[in-house]
Amino acid sequence: MIRFAIIGCGRIAQRHAEHINKYGKLVAVCDIVKERADELATKYNAAAYYNLSELLSTQKDIDVISICSPNGLHAEHSIESLKAGFHVLCEKPMAISVNDCDRMIQTAERVNKRLFAIKQNRFNPPVQAVKKVIDEGRLGKIYSVQLSCFWNRDAEYYSNSWKGTKALDGGTLFTQFSHFIDLLYWMIGDIRDVQAYTANFAHKGIIEFEDTGVVIAKFQNGAIGTINYTVNSYEKNMEGSLTIFGEKGTVKIGGQYLNELEYQNIQDYKIPTLPSGNVANNYGNYQGSMSNHDKVYENLVDVLTNNAIISTSAFEGLKTVEIIDKIYYKAQQLER
């Protein structure tokens, strides 16, 4: 049985703990906020730690450490855990700088440990179906794409939290929409060039970066596309959608978080009826992406015990960060 520890006992850690105990055993948790660590530890009969160094030096029979701490600490916590001799599963985004991603990958290679990146939206049934259609060449040449990310994150979401800070959050694309950027890379390919405008309309004095962005992208394969994103959708999440226009077909994955096949018109082919998939991560007053962490842990265990193919490599985690970094760099250039 694979034994796990969790670093960071916030909201997403609850989801991790639930699935860890289906595929292995949670033996330790760590958070600098004692109450959070104690609560999660008690619920799953695990040991509680309030200092990462103490956990790493004490718990030697752990196999994998799941990093659920704030974005800006992912690199530091992952590298320390790898150096201590553990495999690492890192929540999104892998880090908030390309350099940090590089350091994480190099450390994993140097100590011969696995570094897993979480990209759970890849497991959404319509996403998997459209990816298969693209890989089979049924859409022909991809001409253009439109990614729409229209969510709501109000002032309460950011209050008394690391979220909204440049140092620990990084930006709206990192925390809210990195999974969406990953799907562009996974399904369409790498992005060669971007132009971008960003603005903070409704969160001045609340967050240290943009709440809205418009991006024009040119892909390595010649396709062009747009990314429109905001956390200003009135009162609630509205849409997370990806529309693909190809030589032999058009498809749209929609819903609030890329969970519905909304449109298809493909030459001599029809995507069959799909399963509904998992529900969204529900955090009370707001929702996140589809909760496919069960598939992530199933793959992780399969990789470590059966030498299976990893569902998302650390390199792919880096590519998401690289694309986001490119968007922010271009947006800052235009603001000067």
Does residue 147 or residue 336 have the better pLDDT?
147
Helical packing angle, 293-306 and 11-23, nearest 10°: 40
Place of tokens 């670093």: 7
| Element housing 238 (H / E) | none
Mind giving me the DSSP string for 163-176?
A: TT-TTTT--HHHHT
Confidence (pLDDT) at 281: 47
The radius of gyration computed from the CA coordinates of the chain, to the nearest angstrom, equals: 20
Under the banding of pLDDT at 50, 70 and 90, the label for residue 335 is: confident
Contact 110, 133 (CB under 8 A): no
**What's the whole-model pTM score?**
0.93
Domains and CATH numbers, the chain: 3-117 (3.40.50.720), 122-289 (3.30.360.10)
d(CA 300, CA 209): 34
Per DSSP bridges, beta strands 191-199 and 287-290 are: unpaired
d(CA 20, CA 129): 27
Count, residues in the chain:
336
d(CA 293, CA 119): 9
Give the CB-side neighbour count of residue 288, counting CA atoms within 13 A: 19
Q: Tell me: the pLDDT tens digits for 252-285? A: 999 988 999 999 999 999 999 998 765 554 445 5
Is a pLDDT exceeding 80 seen at residue 132? yes
Confidence (pLDDT) at 278: 54
Helical packing angle, 314-335 and 178-187, nearest 10°: 110
Q: Tell me: the pLDDT tens digits for 38-63? A: 999 999 999 999 999 999 999 989 99
What are the tokens at 30? 């760590």
Q: Tell me: the pLDDT tens digits for 178-206? A: 999 999 999 999 999 999 999 999 999 99
